[in-house]
Protein backbone atom coordinates (compact mmCIF):
# COMPACT_ATOMS: atom_id res chain seq x y z
CA UNK A 1 0.00 0.00 0.00
CA UNK A 2 1.14 3.53 -0.64
CA UNK A 3 2.60 5.48 2.18
CA UNK A 4 2.98 9.20 2.40
CA UNK A 5 6.25 10.92 2.87
CA UNK A 6 6.62 13.63 5.44
CA UNK A 7 9.26 16.25 5.75
CA UNK A 8 11.11 17.21 7.65
CA UNK A 9 11.70 13.95 9.51
CA UNK A 10 12.68 15.96 12.55
CA UNK A 11 12.14 19.59 13.48
CA UNK A 12 13.49 21.50 16.44
CA UNK A 13 12.18 24.96 17.24
CA UNK A 14 11.91 27.33 20.17
CA UNK A 15 8.73 28.01 22.03
CA UNK A 16 6.69 30.70 20.35
CA UNK A 17 7.90 29.91 16.86
CA UNK A 18 5.74 28.38 14.17
CA UNK A 19 6.24 24.79 13.01
CA UNK A 20 5.42 23.63 9.50
CA UNK A 21 5.28 19.99 8.48
CA UNK A 22 4.63 18.70 4.99
CA UNK A 23 3.08 15.51 3.74
CA UNK A 24 2.99 14.07 0.25
CA UNK A 25 0.97 11.10 -0.92
CA UNK A 26 0.68 9.06 -4.07
CA UNK A 27 -2.91 8.16 -4.90
CA UNK A 28 -6.26 9.95 -5.01
CA UNK A 29 -7.80 10.51 -1.63
CA UNK A 30 -11.16 11.03 -0.02
CA UNK A 31 -9.65 12.90 2.91
CA UNK A 32 -6.40 13.51 4.74
CA UNK A 33 -5.99 13.55 8.49
CA UNK A 34 -3.30 14.68 10.87
CA UNK A 35 -2.50 12.93 14.13
CA UNK A 36 -0.20 13.58 17.06
CA UNK A 37 1.59 10.90 19.02
CA UNK A 38 3.42 11.51 22.25
CA UNK A 39 6.31 9.15 22.87
CA UNK A 40 5.08 5.63 23.58
CA UNK A 41 1.45 6.61 23.46
CA UNK A 42 -1.55 6.24 21.18
CA UNK A 43 -2.63 8.67 18.51
CA UNK A 44 -4.64 11.82 18.99
CA UNK A 45 -6.72 12.98 16.06
CA UNK A 46 -6.01 16.64 15.25
CA UNK A 47 -7.85 17.58 12.11
CA UNK A 48 -9.46 16.13 8.98
CA UNK A 49 -9.53 17.86 5.63
CA UNK A 50 -11.63 16.54 2.78
CA UNK A 51 -10.44 16.35 -0.80
CA UNK A 52 -12.70 19.23 -1.84
CA UNK A 53 -11.31 21.52 0.86
CA UNK A 54 -8.18 23.59 0.52
CA UNK A 55 -7.63 24.93 4.02
CA UNK A 56 -8.89 24.25 7.50
CA UNK A 57 -8.23 25.78 10.89
CA UNK A 58 -8.54 24.45 14.41
CA UNK A 59 -7.18 26.61 17.20
CA UNK A 60 -3.44 27.03 16.58
CA UNK A 61 -3.50 24.49 13.77
CA UNK A 62 -3.80 25.30 10.09
CA UNK A 63 -3.93 22.58 7.47
CA UNK A 64 -3.75 23.05 3.74
CA UNK A 65 -4.39 20.52 1.02
CA UNK A 66 -3.28 20.69 -2.60
CA UNK A 67 -4.74 17.71 -4.43
CA UNK A 68 -3.05 18.70 -7.70
CA UNK A 69 0.33 18.32 -6.01
CA UNK A 70 -0.86 15.51 -3.73
CA UNK A 71 0.47 17.33 -0.71
CA UNK A 72 -0.65 18.77 2.59
CA UNK A 73 0.92 20.92 5.23
CA UNK A 74 0.30 21.32 8.94
CA UNK A 75 1.18 24.62 10.57
CA UNK A 76 1.31 24.95 14.32
CA UNK A 77 1.46 28.59 15.35
CA UNK A 78 2.97 29.95 18.54
CA UNK A 79 4.34 26.55 19.51
CA UNK A 80 4.56 25.39 23.11
CA UNK A 81 6.78 22.84 24.81
CA UNK A 82 3.67 20.65 25.16
CA UNK A 83 3.50 20.42 21.35
CA UNK A 84 6.60 18.23 21.42
CA UNK A 85 5.49 14.98 19.78
CA UNK A 86 5.50 13.07 16.51
CA UNK A 87 3.02 14.21 13.90
CA UNK A 88 1.63 11.91 11.23
CA UNK A 89 -0.51 12.53 8.21
CA UNK A 90 -2.83 9.75 7.12
CA UNK A 91 -4.87 9.42 3.98
CA UNK A 92 -8.13 7.69 3.19
CA UNK A 93 -8.30 6.60 -0.41
CA UNK A 94 -11.36 6.76 -2.62
CA UNK A 95 -13.67 3.75 -2.96
CA UNK A 96 -12.45 2.13 0.23
CA UNK A 97 -15.75 1.38 1.90
CA UNK A 98 -17.68 2.55 4.88
CA UNK A 99 -14.93 2.35 7.49
CA UNK A 100 -11.87 3.19 5.55
CA UNK A 101 -8.27 2.26 5.96
CA UNK A 102 -5.79 4.93 6.91
CA UNK A 103 -2.40 4.97 5.24
CA UNK A 104 0.09 6.76 7.43
CA UNK A 105 2.97 8.96 6.45
CA UNK A 106 6.44 8.56 7.84
CA UNK A 107 5.97 11.20 10.50
CA UNK A 108 7.74 14.32 11.70
CA UNK A 109 9.27 14.44 15.17
CA UNK A 110 8.80 17.93 16.56
CA UNK A 111 10.85 19.18 19.49
CA UNK A 112 9.86 22.49 21.03
CA UNK A 113 12.39 23.89 23.45
CA UNK A 114 11.98 26.63 26.04
CA UNK B 1 -15.19 11.90 22.08
CA UNK B 2 -15.24 8.12 21.71
CA UNK B 3 -12.88 6.13 23.91
CA UNK B 4 -10.94 3.03 22.96
CA UNK B 5 -8.97 1.08 25.52
CA UNK B 6 -6.29 -1.56 25.17
CA UNK B 7 -5.15 -4.16 27.62
CA UNK B 8 -2.48 -4.77 28.65
CA UNK B 9 -0.51 -1.57 28.16
CA UNK B 10 2.77 -3.45 28.45
CA UNK B 11 3.59 -7.13 28.29
CA UNK B 12 6.82 -9.07 28.43
CA UNK B 13 6.76 -12.69 27.38
CA UNK B 14 9.21 -15.43 26.61
CA UNK B 15 9.97 -16.58 23.11
CA UNK B 16 7.56 -19.29 21.96
CA UNK B 17 4.63 -18.22 24.09
CA UNK B 18 1.42 -16.59 22.92
CA UNK B 19 0.13 -13.18 23.95
CA UNK B 20 -3.38 -11.79 23.69
CA UNK B 21 -4.08 -8.07 23.39
CA UNK B 22 -7.59 -6.71 23.87
CA UNK B 23 -9.09 -3.66 22.23
CA UNK B 24 -12.37 -2.31 23.54
CA UNK B 25 -14.60 0.52 22.43
CA UNK B 26 -15.99 1.86 25.68
CA UNK B 27 -18.84 4.10 24.65
CA UNK B 28 -19.77 3.15 21.12
CA UNK B 29 -20.31 0.12 18.94
CA UNK B 30 -17.33 -0.52 16.72
CA UNK B 31 -18.38 -2.20 13.51
CA UNK B 32 -14.80 -2.17 12.29
CA UNK B 33 -11.53 -2.38 14.15
CA UNK B 34 -8.03 -2.00 12.82
CA UNK B 35 -4.75 -3.35 14.16
CA UNK B 36 -1.48 -1.54 13.55
CA UNK B 37 2.14 -2.26 14.41
CA UNK B 38 4.70 0.44 15.03
CA UNK B 39 8.44 -0.09 15.35
CA UNK B 40 10.54 2.51 17.23
CA UNK B 41 10.64 5.88 15.52
CA UNK B 42 8.68 4.55 12.58
CA UNK B 43 5.19 5.01 11.25
CA UNK B 44 2.14 2.86 11.87
CA UNK B 45 1.71 -0.08 9.55
CA UNK B 46 -1.75 -1.55 9.17
CA UNK B 47 -1.79 -5.26 9.93
CA UNK B 48 -5.43 -6.17 9.51
CA UNK B 49 -8.99 -4.93 9.40
CA UNK B 50 -11.70 -6.77 11.28
CA UNK B 51 -15.45 -6.46 11.01
CA UNK B 52 -17.66 -7.72 13.78
CA UNK B 53 -18.71 -11.31 13.18
CA UNK B 54 -16.54 -11.95 10.16
CA UNK B 55 -12.97 -12.95 9.41
CA UNK B 56 -10.28 -10.32 9.48
CA UNK B 57 -8.71 -9.02 6.29
CA UNK B 58 -4.93 -9.08 6.55
CA UNK B 59 -2.51 -6.78 4.77
CA UNK B 60 0.03 -8.24 2.44
CA UNK B 61 2.95 -9.75 4.28
CA UNK B 62 1.12 -10.23 7.58
CA UNK B 63 0.86 -13.88 8.64
CA UNK B 64 -2.73 -14.64 9.56
CA UNK B 65 -1.76 -17.80 11.43
CA UNK B 66 0.68 -15.88 13.57
CA UNK B 67 -1.47 -12.85 14.30
CA UNK B 68 -4.92 -14.17 15.16
CA UNK B 69 -7.65 -11.56 15.23
CA UNK B 70 -11.10 -12.08 16.69
CA UNK B 71 -13.86 -9.48 16.58
CA UNK B 72 -16.62 -11.34 18.36
CA UNK B 73 -18.65 -8.39 19.55
CA UNK B 74 -19.26 -4.78 18.64
CA UNK B 75 -17.09 -3.60 21.52
CA UNK B 76 -14.20 -6.07 21.61
CA UNK B 77 -11.49 -7.23 19.27
CA UNK B 78 -8.49 -9.31 20.26
CA UNK B 79 -5.10 -9.79 18.67
CA UNK B 80 -3.20 -12.92 19.65
CA UNK B 81 0.47 -13.13 18.76
CA UNK B 82 1.16 -16.84 18.60
CA UNK B 83 4.57 -18.39 19.20
CA UNK B 84 6.06 -14.97 19.72
CA UNK B 85 9.68 -14.27 18.77
CA UNK B 86 11.92 -11.31 19.62
CA UNK B 87 11.28 -9.80 16.18
CA UNK B 88 7.59 -9.51 17.13
CA UNK B 89 8.55 -7.01 19.82
CA UNK B 90 6.76 -3.84 18.84
CA UNK B 91 4.08 -1.33 19.76
CA UNK B 92 0.64 -2.60 18.76
CA UNK B 93 -2.16 -0.08 18.37
CA UNK B 94 -5.81 -0.72 17.63
CA UNK B 95 -8.42 1.69 16.34
CA UNK B 96 -12.16 1.46 16.10
CA UNK B 97 -14.72 2.94 13.78
CA UNK B 98 -18.43 2.86 14.36
CA UNK B 99 -21.82 4.38 14.00
CA UNK B 100 -21.54 6.54 17.12
CA UNK B 101 -18.43 8.14 15.74
CA UNK B 102 -20.46 10.67 13.88
CA UNK B 103 -18.04 11.46 11.12
CA UNK B 104 -17.65 8.96 8.35
CA UNK B 105 -14.12 7.54 8.11
CA UNK B 106 -13.05 8.64 11.57
CA UNK B 107 -11.13 6.10 13.60
CA UNK B 108 -10.57 6.30 17.33
CA UNK B 109 -7.25 4.97 18.53
CA UNK B 110 -6.37 3.00 21.61
CA UNK B 111 -3.35 3.90 23.76
CA UNK B 112 -1.26 1.02 22.41
CA UNK B 113 0.36 -2.10 23.86
CA UNK B 114 4.11 -2.45 24.17
CA UNK B 115 5.10 -6.07 23.55
CA UNK B 116 8.58 -7.25 24.44
CA UNK B 117 9.56 -10.83 23.62
CA UNK B 118 12.66 -12.09 25.40
- CA A98 to chain B, closest CA, distance in angstroms equals 7
Mean pLDDT over B38-62 rounds to 90
A2: confidence class by pLDDT, cuts 50, 70, 90: very low
Question: pLDDT tens across A29-60, in order?
Answer: 989 999 999 988 889 999 999 999 999 999 99
User: How much is the pLDDT for A54?
Assistant: 98
A108: confidence class by pLDDT, cuts 50, 70, 90: very high
> Shortest CA distance to A90 belongs to which of A28, A41, A38, A48?
A48
User: How much is the pLDDT for A3?
Assistant: 56
Q: Which residues of A touch B93 (CB under 8 A)?
A: 42-43
How many angstroms separate the CA atoms of B22 and B35, rounded? Answer: 11
Task: Output the average pLDDT for chain B.
Answer: 90
- CA A78 to chain B, closest CA, distance in angstroms equals 25
Q: What 3-state class would DSSP assign to B101?
A: helix
Amino acid sequence: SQQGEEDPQALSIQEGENATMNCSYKTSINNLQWYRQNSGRGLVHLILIRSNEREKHSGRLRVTLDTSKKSSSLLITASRAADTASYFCATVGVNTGTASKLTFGTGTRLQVTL
Amino acid sequence: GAVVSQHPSRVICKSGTSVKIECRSLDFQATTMFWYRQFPKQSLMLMATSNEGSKATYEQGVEKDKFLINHASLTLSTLTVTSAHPEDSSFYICSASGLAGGILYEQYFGPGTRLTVT
